[in-house]
Amino acid sequence: MLVLDASGTLVDLNPPARPMMTDRRDSGTARDMVPSWLADAHLRLTDETCVTPEGPPAAGEIGDRFFEAYPSPADGGVAWWLVDGTGRRRAEASLRRARRQAEVRAMVFSTLLSSLNVPRCAEVAARLAAEHLADAALIVLPPVGRRCTVTHALRGEPVVPTSLQLDPRGVPGLVEALQGFPPVPARWIDPAALPEWAVPAGFGGPVGSALVTSLPGHGVSAGALILLRSSPEGTFTQDEEAFARLFAARAGAALSAAHLYSEQSAITTTLMRDLLPPTLESIHGVEYAGRYRAASDHERIGGDFYDVHPGCDASRETFVVLGDVAGKGLEAAVLTGKIRNTLHALLPLASDHEQVLTLLNGALLSSHHTRFATLVLASVRREARQVRLRLTSAGHMPPLIVRADGRVEEAATHGTLVGALPSLTVQSAEEVLAPGETCLLYTDGITEARGGPLGDELFGEDRLRQALVECAGMPGEAIVERVQMLAAQWLRSGGHDDMATLAISAPRTAPPVGAHPSAGGHPGRTD
């Protein structure tokens, strides 16, 4: 307790207050011994008519302690009762820091995971670190060869990613951080020894304090985080270092996830490139067109496929195949790729459809796959203005021929499916297309599309044939597009199987004068 007279001079104090005021005796007079915040509160109080005015108590520091002061009347003055609130204030400050850190952690985690792009994730991590942890931050990704990607961020400035050829040994602890080892304490790092690349352009003044910590990923380091502060008094405390390591753990997990996603995406893209249907166009004077729709809208591949393998010149047959593997999705697509590769290897035997199918059947029976497939093979060659076809069905729907006069004929070919029985039997059919006529190969995803007014009726072969009657004389590209459109409209929003269509058309135009009887256009890109 301190007793002050009307002028604010210290006139008395109780024993517990004496040690506290002893350190202030050098301040001068008894009036000067009173802390300024308490003197101001006393002056305001003595100007009031009430000794105990309403409002918060006066508060301030005496030495390294924090006190709240409560007045009460005393003989000739005011007695101020001082309550030590240092512990409570420190606890409240610690609680505020913990809440702020929790908010930052939640915000950082959600923000970092919003992107699965590695450069973008590094930019976000650097920006957040500069905003919440230091004046500047650097994200150093693991080196690729002799170069590292370094992302610089200054608080309030745009993030700058760069690719540098650097020596990580120039920054204490960076080599260890890039290898995933625990960080060295910030007090061990000499800020003045940092290399030029480690200080972002525009950093205000010399570096006062630096911290280096690893970005732990999934089993390996995802990089390193460098934090810089400009003020020497702003040295990282032990709590701040712990929070920086926690931030780095979240950032490292996000970067690792983004890197893993990028790798898997690149692998998927590379593998899918060979599984996608080829782009078709005119080959050796014969027009080809195809359309493919996977069973799921978010997928690009499935169990249906088609390929066109041009002959080495216009006098040789072009080998065409359309197939349907049992099932759909990725597993069916894997077997589709195997069938396509096997057929590509059997191209020297393509003139003998039965032998090709027998060899393919044996290859599928000897594999670990338990799925089977249906196929249609076609050998195509242009002769003068006509196109001659040899068609073989292996458990598949026979191709449909759209004649110029509107008739729709079914090719007389049939056979057993591939990959199910030890032996197979097939019967081929010979067909000739006059100018403007088309042979359509299709999978059962078209005819078995379930929809209609009540949503439970198949599109069926009759509707397909009627649609083809209306397509008489149309180019093959228009026919496959028309068939796919009608099937999609029939489905409405219902589920469906993979749907593939391939048209082989005899052009209406005659071959160039003086050309080989079997000559035509140039081969298109089919693989």
Helix (H, G, I), strand (E, B) or coil at 143: coil
Q: What is the pLDDT of residue 263?
A: 86
Q: Which of 249-258, 363-372, 487-496 has the highest mean pLDDT?
A: 249-258
Q: What is the pLDDT of residue 41?
A: 87
Share of the chain above pLDDT 70, in %: 90
Q: What is the pLDDT of residue 346?
A: 95
Q: What is the pLDDT of residue 524?
A: 39
173 has a pLDDT exceeding 80: yes
480: DSSP letter: H
Q: What whole-number distance in Å separates Cα of residue 356 and Cα of residue 359?
A: 5
Average pLDDT rounded to a whole number, residues 225-244: 84
Of 167, 221, 212, the C-alpha closest to 188 is 212
Contact 271, 489 (CB under 8 A): no
Strand partners, 74: 77
411 has a pLDDT exceeding 90: yes
Of 96-100, 231-235, 291-295, 468-472, give the lowest mean pLDDT range. 231-235
pTM (2 d.p.): 0.60
How many CA atoms are closer than 13 Å to the CA of 452, on its beta-carbon side?
A: 11
231 has a pLDDT exceeding 90: no
When pLDDT is cut at 50, 70 and 90, the band that residue 518 belongs to is very low
Q: What token pair was written down for 238?
A: 């032990």
Q: What is the pLDDT of residue 484?
A: 93
**Mean per-residue pLDDT of the chain:** 85
381 has a pLDDT exceeding 90: yes
Contact 437, 506 (CB under 8 A): yes
pLDDT per position as a tens digit, 95-111 = 887 787 777 777 767 77
Element (H, E) at 40: helix 36-46
pLDDT per position as a tens digit, 34-58 = 888 888 888 888 875 544 556 678 8
pLDDT per position as a tens digit, 440-458 = 999 999 999 888 888 788 9
Q: What is the pLDDT of residue 494?
A: 65
Q: What token pair was written down for 337?
A: 């790729």
